[in-house]
Amino acid sequence: MSLKNPYQAYENNQVLFAKGEELVLLLYKGAIKFIEQAKLALEKKNLPRTNDRIIKAQNIVTELMVTLNMDIEVSKSLLPLYDYLRRRLIEANIKKETEILDEVQGMLAELLGTWTEAMKVVRPT
């Protein structure tokens, strides 16, 4: 592996060796990061990069959807929420509206906070 981008190597290792619940945190953080990058690209009128970053966030939300364990009650609540987020990202990409990106980013930040707190309860340090 090349050390041209050590940050990328660190991120890759973080994903490869993450436990399931930690992977969810990484997915939330990744989606939030890509939405932020999409907003910056949109601000600069860089539509190809905006599209690319929104699609990356969309793919993460889709991954969160397809990996839900529907035998767990909370998953039945998360599925429609994730579907809503995915549809809003599609709409944001079509309309190129920062407000929609802000909404989705805010909701993902809330989910990240909730998931972080839940992990503390389940696995206290």
How does pLDDT run across 63-78, given as a tens digit for each residue? 999 999 999 898 999 9
For tokens 């592996």, what's the residue?
1
Domain that holds residue 97: 19-122
Lowest mean per-residue pLDDT among 17-26, 38-47, 55-64, 105-114: 17-26
Taking Cα atoms as reference points, which of 99, 70, 93 lies closest to residue 82? Answer: 70
What is the pTM for the complete model shown?
0.83
Taking Cα atoms as reference points, which of 51, 116, 124, 118 lies closest to residue 90? Answer: 51
Answer whether residue 1 is part of any domain. Answer: no
What confidence score (pLDDT) does residue 116 get? 93
Answer whether residue 79 is part of any domain. Answer: yes
CATH number, domain containing residue 105 = 1.20.120.340
